[in-house]
A and B are shown apart, each in its own frame.
Chain A
Amino acid sequence: MQELLQQIVSGIATGGIFASLALALVLIYNAMGLVNFAQGEMAMLATFAAFTLINRGVSYWIAFPLTLVIAFAGGILIQRIVIRPVERAPILTLVIVTLGLATLLNGLAGFFFGYLPRSFPSPFSAQTANILGAFVSYQDLGVIAVTAVVLVAIYLLLQHTTVGLTMRAAAHHPEPSRLLGVHVSWMLALGWGLASAVGAVSGIMVAPILLLEPNMMQTVIIYAFAAAVLGGIESPLGAVVGGVIVGVTVNLAGAYLPFVGGDLQLAVALAIIVAVLVLKPNGLFGRPNVRRV
């Protein structure tokens, strides 16, 4: 029982990391109907920015928000320079562009920082707290707290501010939004910035666990895909719930199913993707494509 609780808490922590990246995917999917395959690499590069700042002696809790700002600006820049020229191209073109972007960012990181895994600091102590008889690490609790704060902030921004409203309007209905005076193209750029910043959170949170190197996010993004698909790809709330479910499931499967262990955890995520697509293609929170005319 005690161990189960520990495994669940630790699963929620990993789930929060998946959820952040999944939310980034959903934000861009909503804005352009596109799965951004470069999302993981963008997060990785942002984590390298945080790494550089911290190495230069900036304290962690200053480097963290600073990195989010850098990631935000980077996301906007990528949308303006790379995505905007092909905005109206067929979706396959866009997919190839994001794949190319992923390769480019990966190469850039390798060129500037090398492929040697580096340890990344965690602000949370490695000790454990005793909660209801279970030993829960401060690391896990910290990750849960940070991702929760970020996700709630994104929710409030999207649902309860005018900027959030115009972003959602521009994403779902570009033409009618223009007629209401919404600068649609800039709203899309803002969406990329926001996605990039949320994704960066997942990179910074996962780096102490996985060690920082250019390929760090390549498994994380698969879990994030699983989370986003499970949540219904277009639902921000779904991405978060999906992230937590995937995190807990993968963790429990690794701990209790001997044949899964540590090696087949990724297969569990892929199984989730396949199962969702076969059994419930719209995911948990996605709406079926039925519309009143």
Chain B
Amino acid sequence: MALLELEEVRAGYGATSVLHGVSLSVPEGQIVSLLGANGAGKTTTLRSITGGVHWTGDIRFAGRSLRRMHTEDVVRCGIAHVPEGRGILTELTVDENLKLGSYLRRDGAAVRKDYDRVFEYFPVLRERRGLSASTLSGGEQQMLALARAFLMKPRLMLLDEPSLGLAPLIVRAIFEIIRTINTEDRVAVLLVEQNARLALEMSSDAYVLEVGRVAVSGTSSELKGNDAVRRSYLGY
């Protein structure tokens, strides 16, 4: 059974509907990419999962329906959502941001180990611990968002465009760490990405959204070979 399952999910903002019946699944411990043009509904799909937008249909996480659950409670089930814009709390320090990732955990010794790993992945965060998060650069903020999500010890991470606005070298470093977290901790990832090539390299399965529906889906290597996908999203 898949860790996360969406079944005919419809969602929207007020009178505007964005998703017209999206079904997808993320198996335990796998990376799944969600591709598509701007406005196809990728962000809305992620927001539906964590209850940021009203939806119908069904969303199940680890066999349990998330229907009518508040965002706070969905997250407490083990889903870490790094939203569009990264969700950094700029009024707080870097350290306080990290603490908000781990504050619900009761396994103190493991938390300390995870902090060590976070600072090993992102040494710059250790240097900036005491500074206001608003002073971080875009790349550093993305690192902080990812580090904080990792400290939540989730079973599933929802990542919304982790590469957005970042220099290629930083993007590579960040994706390397996403892969490490995925393999070492068996954290499943649902990855929304504009950079389709990068996303398909990382993931085992992929879905392509077009105007609120799944247009194509399959294993990532299948999609890499799919002519329509290649022309529209890979650009060659």
Q: Which residues of B contact A166 (CB under 8 A)?
A: 100, 103
- The dominant DSSP class at the A interface is helix
- A-contacting 9-mer, from B32-40, B91-99, B196-204, B219-227: B91-99
Number of residue pairs across A and B with beta carbons under 8 Å?
A: 63
Distance of A165 Cα from B70 Cα, bound (Å): 21
Q: How many residues of A contact B (CB 8 A)?
A: 19
Q: Are B89 and A169 in contact (CB under 8 A)?
A: yes
- B-contacting 9-mer, from A41-49, A132-140, A181-189: A181-189
Q: Which residues of A contact B83 (CB under 8 A)?
A: 175-176, 179
Question: Contact string, B128-168, partner A, CB cutoff 8 A, digits 1/0?
Answer: 00000011000000000000100010000000000000000
Q: Which residues of B contact A175 (CB under 8 A)?
A: 52, 83, 87
Distance of A169 Cα from B133 Cα, bound (Å): 12
Q: Across the two chains, which residue of chain B brings its CB closest to A168?
A: B92
Decide yes or no whether A180 CB sits under 8 A from chain B.
yes
With beta carbons under 8 angstroms apart, the residue of A169, A172, A180, A291 that contacts B75 is: A180
Decide yes or no whether A292 CB sits under 8 A from chain B.
yes
Distance of A13 Cα from B145 Cα, bound (Å): 45
Interface size on B, as a range, is: 20 to 34
Question: B95 → chain A, closest Cβ, in Å?
Answer: 10
Decide yes or no whether A122 CB sits under 8 A from chain B.
no
Q: Are A172 and B89 in contact (CB under 8 A)?
A: yes
Distance of A182 Cα from B148 Cα, bound (Å): 14
Q: Are A181 and B72 in contact (CB under 8 A)?
A: yes
Decide yes or no whether A84 CB sits under 8 A from chain B.
no
Q: Are B100 and A177 in contact (CB under 8 A)?
A: yes
Q: Which residues of A contact B230 (CB under 8 A)?
A: none
Decide yes or no whether A130 CB sits under 8 A from chain B.
no
Decide yes or no whether A289 CB sits under 8 A from chain B.
no
Decide yes or no whether A280 CB sits under 8 A from chain B.
no
Q: Are A168 and B91 in contact (CB under 8 A)?
A: yes
Q: Are A291 and B90 in contact (CB under 8 A)?
A: yes
Distance of A172 Cα from B52 Cα, bound (Å): 18
Decide yes or no whether B64 CB sits under 8 A from chain A.
no
Decide yes or no whether A127 CB sits under 8 A from chain B.
no
Question: B209 → chain A, closest Cβ, in Å?
Answer: 22
Distance of A176 Cα from B148 Cα, bound (Å): 12
Question: B13 → chain A, closest Cβ, in Å?
Answer: 14
With beta carbons under 8 angstroms apart, the residue of B52, B71, B76, B134 that contacts A292 is: B134
Distance of A168 Cα from B70 Cα, bound (Å): 20
Question: B214 → chain A, closest Cβ, in Å?
Answer: 25
Distance of A182 Cα from B89 Cα, bound (Å): 13
Question: Contact string, A190-226, partner B, CB cutoff 8 A, digits 1/0?
Answer: 0000000000000000000000000000000000000
Decide yes or no whether A162 CB sits under 8 A from chain B.
yes
Q: Are B134 and A182 in contact (CB under 8 A)?
A: no
Q: Are A172 and B92 in contact (CB under 8 A)?
A: yes
- Chain A positions within 8 Å of B, measured between CB atoms, are 162, 165-166, 168-169, 172-173, 175-184, 291-292
Instruction: List 7 other contacts, CB 8 Å, given A175-B83, A179-B52, A180-B152.
Output: A162-B99, A169-B100, A178-B72, A179-B87, A180-B101, A180-B148, A292-B135
Q: What are 27 of the A-B contact pairs (CB < 8 Å)? A: A162-B103, A165-B92, A165-B96, A165-B100, A166-B100, A168-B91, A169-B92, A172-B89, A173-B87, A173-B89, A173-B91, A175-B52, A175-B83, A175-B87, A176-B87, A176-B88, A178-B52, A178-B70, A178-B75, A179-B87, A180-B75, A180-B148, A181-B72, A181-B104, A183-B72, A184-B72, A291-B134
